[in-house]
Amino acid sequence: MFSGPLSNERNFDVAVNYFAPPHSDDFFYEGAEFLLAGGLSKFHAAKQFMHARHLDKYEGVYFLDDDIELHFDPSEFLEYCAAKQFAIAQAALSAPSDGAWRITFHHPGFEYRFTNFVEVMAPYFSKNFLMTVVEAFDISISTYGLDVFWGCQLEADQQAAIVDRYQMSHVKKRDLGSGAYYEYLRSIGVDCLQELKSVLTGLGIDSYPIRFKGDAEIVEAVRVG
C-alpha cells in the first residue's frame, strides 16, 4: 500500500489489523494510530473495531487490502471523495491489475463514473453510509457478496463511484485453489460461493446486475454458478 513511512502531512489516521506477528521492519507497527488483532477477515475485524467507537470524528473510512498499490496520495483521494459526497467509492484499477469486474478498471475518458457497484478490495465509505451497513460486515466472512449488499442499500440520493482520476494496482493473482487466503477460509469452514448465495438469498435476488447509474444496460452481473 505505502512505499515508506507515513507522512506527518496527511489528513488521515491509520488502523492496521494483524492476523500474524508484524515483521521487524514494519513501519506501521510504530507509526499507525491504531493496532488491532483479531477478527476472521478484514470486514469482520473492522466491525469489531468500529464497535469500539473510534470513528466518530472521521468523515470517511478507506478499507484497503494489504496487496493494493496506490498510485496517488491517499490524502488527496479522501479529500476528493468527501468533496464529491460519494457514499461509497473506489479508485479505478490499472490495466495490469488482477480484477474480477470489468467495470472497476480504469477508463481514460472519465474522471469518475456513477455505478451501483464498488468492490471489496479497497472501498471508501462516507461516515453516514458506513453507519448504515457496518452491522452487516460479518454476513460474509469471505467478503463474497458484501459489495452486492452495499449496492442494494444505496438510497436514491446516495452515489457510488468508480473514480478514474485515481488509479490503484492489484497485481497479485487470485488463486482460489491453493492461495493462502482461500486455504485459510476452507480451514475455518467458509465456502465463498455459499456465502455469496446466502447474501443474494437474503436480498431476495438470484443475481445482481452491475450498471452505470442511469443506464439500463447491464455491464455484467454477480451470480452463483
Using pLDDT thresholds of 50, 70 and 90, give the confidence band for residue 219: confident
d(CA 134, CA 150): 10
Contact 28, 13 (CB under 8 A): no
Whether residue 7 is predicted with pLDDT greater than 80 in this model: the reply is no
d(CA 47, CA 27): 24
What pLDDT shows up at residue 217? 78
Burial 112-138 (b: 16+ CB within 10 A, else e): bbbbbbbbbbbbbbbeebbebbbebbb
The cell for 199 is 447474501
Q: Give the dihedral sign, CA 28/65/198/115.
A: positive
Say what the pTM is. 0.92
* Topology, domain 59-223: Spore Coat Polysaccharide Biosynthesis Protein SpsA; Chain A (3.90.550)
Whether residue 24 is predicted with pLDDT greater than 90 in this model: the reply is no
**Mean pLDDT in residue range 103-124:** 96
Burial of 215 (0-12, 13-18, 19+ CB in 10 A): exposed
Rounded to 10 degrees, the C-alpha dihedral 34/38/40/41 comes to: 20
Q: Which residue has the cell 488491532?
A: 36
Using pLDDT thresholds of 50, 70 and 90, give the confidence band for residue 34: confident
What pLDDT shows up at residue 70? 95
Start-to-end C-alpha separation, the chain: 33
Please give the backbone phi and psi of residue 191, each rounded to the nearest 5 degrees, phi first: -110, 115
pLDDT tens digits, 156-213: 999 999 999 999 999 888 887 888 888 999 999 999 999 999 999 999 999 999 999 8
Contact 105, 95 (CB under 8 A): yes
